Amino acid sequence: MVSVTDFNITKINRSKLNDINLENIPFGKYFTDYMLEVDYEDGEWKTPEIKPYQPLLLEPSLAAIHYGQAIFEGIKAYKNLAGEALIFRPHDNFTRFNISAERMQMPTVPEEIFMDGLRQLINLESNWIPAKVDHSLYIRPFMFSTDETIGVKPSEKYKFMIILSPTGPYYATPMRIYVEEQYVRAVPGGIGYAKAAGNYGGAMYATAQAKLKGYDQVLWTDAYEHKYVQECGTMNVMFIIGNKAITPNLDEGTILKGVTRDSVITILNEMGLTVEERALNIDEVIEAHKAGTLSEVFGTGTAATISLIKELRYKEYDMVFDVTTWTVAPKVKAILNDIRYGKTADTHGWMMKL
């Protein structure tokens, strides 16, 4: 077991923060002064290092580049009104990371490395968390195989890293969504429930095709009938029909178990809505729209928290919404924000202090 004191820390001379204006920062473009790096070799994790953010020197034969044993996570740290740094539900991401690792035949990362590493890194970098509502520090843990051989087999060596990127307000404009019937993201027995790099590369062609048709994202459907709703791009999806919130269930392993999804389900329940996690056929969505009971559709995920869907297109049927009249999604977003910035009590224990 790696204890907290076993991390090797190499200090920087001057922070890049002096040169960056945290006011208008594009998502994922700037990285902080430090990164965490740990190598897995000979069946064990070596001593973790926290060192200046820098390029990696890798062999062209690197296994991850060829066969895609690569997984990641996305977490956010916030500064509350009292100026304290807090991380939103990182333990859930840690758990999910190791679920992804197992599915990709990669070693799991010990809690001492993932969680303590995260804490120590954020401690060093807390100046990079903008002390402003709608601002946060995006945390990107990832792991990839590092064998230097092009034989197709699980790698014996891996690298686990954490990098950090400050993010400003994410003005997610309401999206136009195309219900995808040709390409699929995930199948039962596949890797849809893992945050594996290949899932994202595999989705890009279909998304680009939808963009050519004028849409922002696709709503993925099941591989057999192209009827059952899965996810919206890289977000989980919620439908408000009558006084119910309906979101696809996780049983088939085709859906990423979002931490935001879980938080939103909790909040919706507390708001008095009935939340149903179940198979949802697009025909049911259309019928609800025709009956006037489909009131809101939105995506949930760490990057934008809640993204409103203003248009949903299925074959020739177009569902257009006036998002300015919506009440549920904006309220859920406000409740989540108030918890994150310490404006209301964190009754669920979601905010982890350093």
Ligand X SMILES: *Cc1c(COP(=O)(O)O)cnc(C)c1O
Residue ranges binding ligand X (CB under 6 A): 74, 195, 231, 234-236, 256, 258-261, 300-302
Cβ–Cβ < 8 Å for 158, 144 = yes
Cβ atoms of residues 244 and 274 within 8 Å: yes
In which element (H, E) is residue 177 found? Answer: strand 175-179
- Hey, what amino acid is at 276? E
- Residue 165 vs 236, nearer CB to ligand X: 236
Grouping H, G, I as helix, E, B as strand and the rest as coil, residue 330 is: helix
Name the residue nearer to ligand X (CB basis): 146 or 254. Answer: 254
Q: Which is nearer to ligand X, 68 or 258 (CB)?
A: 258
Strands 175-179 and 217-221: parallel
* DSSP code, position 292: T
User: Measured between alpha carbons, how far is 60 from 346 in angstroms, rounded to an integer?
Assistant: 47
Tell me the DSSP string of 98-161. HHHHHHTT-PPPPHHHHHHHHHHHHHHTGGGS-SSTT-EEEEEEEEEE--B--SSS--S-EEEE
Q: How far is the CB of 180 from ligand X (least distance, A)?
A: 13
Q: Considering the complex, state which of residue 166 and residue 301 has its C-beta at the smaller distance from ligand X.
A: 301
Q: Which is nearer to ligand X, 2 or 352 (CB)?
A: 352
Reduce the DSSP state of residue 113 to 3 states and report it. Answer: helix
State the minimum distance, in angstroms, from the CB of residue 31 to ligand X.
Answer: 19
Half-sphere exposure of 26 (CA within 13 A, CB side): 1
Nearer to ligand X, 79 or 261 (CB): 261
Q: What is the distance between the alpha carbons of residues 81 and 85, in angstroms, rounded to a whole number?
A: 10
Question: In whole angstroms, how close is the CB of 231 to ligand X at the nearest point?
Answer: 5
Q: For ligand X, which is the closer residue by CB, 195 or 310?
A: 195
In the block, tokens 């248009």 appear at 311
At its nearest, how many Å lie between ligand X and the CB of residue 178? Answer: 17
Nearer to ligand X (CB atom), residue 28 or residue 242: 28
Q: At closest approach, how far in Å is the CB of 130 from ligand X?
A: 20
- Rounded to a whole number of angstroms, the minimum distance from the CB of residue 97 to ligand X is 11
Least separation in angstroms between CB 336 and ligand X:
11
Q: Smallest gap, in angstroms, from Cβ of residue 258 to ligand X?
A: 3
Cβ-based neighbours of 242, under 8 Å, separated by 6 or more: 288, 293
Q: Read off the amino acid at residue 1.
A: M
User: What separation in angstroms does the CA of 128 have from each of 36, 123, 165, 337?
Assistant: 16, 10, 8, 19
Cβ nearer to ligand X, comparing 50 with 256: 256
Task: Let me know if 342 is exposed, middle or buried by CB neighbors in 10 A (0-12, 13-18, 19+).
Answer: middle
Minimum distance of ligand X from residue 261's CB (angstroms): 6
